[in-house]
Amino acid sequence: MARTILQKITSSLWVLVSFLPLFNGLGFVYIGNKYANSKWFAEGILYELPLILGVITIPNIALATGFFTLGFLTSIVCIIRSIMVDFTLQKQLDQSNLPDKSFENKVNDFISSLWVFASFIPFFNGAGLMYKGKSIPKKSLFVEGIVYELPWIIGLIGIGFQPVRFVAFEVAFVFYFISIIRSIMVATEPKPLHAKRDSFAQDAKFKEKKEQKVEVKKEREEKGTVNVQEGVVPAFKFYEKKFNELAEIYPAKEKNAMELIEKRFAPPQLTYTRFKQVVDDSHETFYSQLDAGRKILDLSTEYSTKVEDELKNKVLVLNSIIQGLDKLSEELVLNISKVESESDTELENLFEDFSRVTSSVKAYE
């Protein structure tokens, strides 16, 4: 389906950021992170550096003037480059057949990302990440926001001590730009959507539930109360067996999905990069959850319903990731014969759902 003029205009608005002094490289940071293009992301950072260094070196007028001159020249290059890159981006978006979100969804996404603007306010630039860390919730983001606030606090407390004030505010200014970049990165990451994770996991959950109950009940009847001993607690043997089975199944599923992705979307297409990234994310999430589950088994010395609930959750997560790969592979097989002009809406929707499976798990790690 051909993209409309409105879609092309809205997806090109990032170019306007290149005209903003001090923030001209943030447009590249945005599209680089959103479309998993490390070159665009790094280019945006390079456009920001001269101006940041110019502000930091203001006490040395000659050096600061040199950086500001370089910053002015790079800002002109940035404007030209953003226009050039946008032409490339629009072509890739045309080829990828990405489904456009409804106006209502775009408004909701904008509203949910308003916290990013807090990062542009000096003295409060860490507040946005603190809010996001609390609302997800994700402790690491909350702590990161506090770190960005600390230099300002130290500078204000030590305002009567020139060396302390100078160093603190210099660090605070650097952290100011880092917090903006990090906020953009976090806001353009796939958002946790737990309903999607549950939908992938539902089939696996019903399939395993009866088998789990039978085997665990059998272990309890045979062993009675569980004593502390070497190896896995007998009542948890079922979960050890499941972890081993899933560890054998996953590599084949992952390999099959990647082969289909390479056949359907030859690199360096934009869609190929996005699909590969989500499979890589699923790999990292699968094995981190598998290791966590095995560690629980190793550390458990007696039966506990709380521990069993956590083991059940680990099996459910691992099954949901495998289930997502299966559905992704099925849709790729059905789409393998399509020409580029045909709509890949179902495949793209499945991609979005599957990408959120790993995101929802990571949000609670």
Number of domains in the chain: 2
Residues 248 and 129 in one domain: no
Residues 306 and 321 in one domain: yes
End-to-end CA distance of the chain: 39
Residues 169 and 227 in one domain: no
Residues 259 and 328 in one domain: yes
Residues 136 and 210 in one domain: no
Residues 174 and 240 in one domain: no
Residues 199 and 346 in one domain: yes
The C-alpha atoms of residue 17 and residue 19 are separated, in whole angstroms, by 5
> Which of 148, 168, 187 lies at the terminal end of a domain, its last residue?
187
The C-alpha atoms of residue 309 and residue 347 are separated, in whole angstroms, by 34
Three-class SS state of 168: helix
In angstroms, how far apart are the furthest CA atoms of the chain? 82
Domain hosting residue 75, numbered range: 5-187
Helices (H) and strands (E) in the chain — how many of each?
13, 0
Residues 207 and 148 in one domain: no
> Which of 187, 210, 243 lies at the terminal end of a domain, its last residue?
187
The tens place of each residue's pLDDT in the chain, 365 residues long, gives 567 888 888 889 999 999 998 899 999 999 988 887 889 999 999 999 998 999 889 889 999 999 999 999 999 999 999 999 999 988 888 776 555 666 676 777 788 889 999 999 999 999 999 999 998 888 999 999 999 999 999 999 988 888 899 899 999 999 999 999 999 998 886 433 333 444 444 444 545 555 555 565 555 555 544 443 456 888 888 889 999 999 999 999 888 888 887 777 665 555 677 777 788 888 888 898 999 999 998 888 888 888 888 898 899 889 888 888 888 788 777 766 554 444 456 666 666 666 665 555 554 45
Residues 68 and 175 in one domain: yes
Residues 325 and 206 in one domain: yes
Residues 132 and 85 in one domain: yes
Residues 141 and 287 in one domain: no
The C-alpha atoms of residue 97 and residue 272 are separated, in whole angstroms, by 12
